[in-house]
Every structure is written in C-alpha cells, then in structure tokens.
Amino acid sequence: MGKRRLTFVELARILRSFGVAADEGAGKGSHTKYWKQFPEGRFSYPVPHDREVLPCYVKGCRKKFRLLPEDGVSDDDFFGRA
C-alpha cells in the first residue's frame, strides 16, 4: 500500500469522495470522527487534526472504510483524489 503523506485537508477530501462523512462534534479533543454506513452497521474512525496525517491513520481509514486494493480501490485511485 502506498505510503504517501497526506495533509488533514487532503485526507478529508479523499474520504468525502468515497462517501465517508465527518462528525466534527463527536471527536475527542483534536480529533474528527469520520463514519460510513454499511449494510451491517455504521463504522467510525477518529483522525487527529494535525497538519500532516500519520500513515497509520490513513491506513486505518482505508481498512475501516473498505478502501484498500482488496476492496477494489487501488492506491492510485485513493491517493489520486487528493
């Protein structure tokens, strides 16, 4: 999986393009909670508001929201939406 660094704004733009919503009031402290509804339930993942998002959060979002290559979303497609 690509290790490209993303800013918080870039990651937010990418997630929105895949139908992931932000619930800014539900995050804890300096985090924003992102969520997406799936047939089996609503899944969420918190992301810190740091200028540059650590790769572990990008990977966590991709896994939680099914945006990995095995889910049909290539690295080029994901990172190309920044």
pLDDT of residue 26: 59
Report which residue type is found at 51: R
pLDDT at 12 over 80: yes
| Residue-number span of the structural domain to which 15 is assigned | 6-79
Other Cβ atoms less than 10 A from the Cβ of 29: the count is: 7
Is residue 18 situated within a structural domain? yes
Residue-wise pLDDT for 23-66, tens only, equals 866 556 788 999 999 999 999 999 988 889 999 999 999 999 99
Element (H, E) at 62: helix 55-64
Is residue 29 situated within a structural domain? yes
Q: 0.85 cut: is pTM over it?
A: yes
- The four Cα atoms 51, 38, 17, 67 give a dihedral, to 10 degrees, of 70
pLDDT at 1 over 70: no
Q: How many domains does the chain have?
A: 1
Q: How far is CA 5 from the centre of its chain?
A: 13
Is residue 1 situated within a structural domain? no
- The answer to whether 78 touches 2, Cβ cutoff 8 Å, is yes
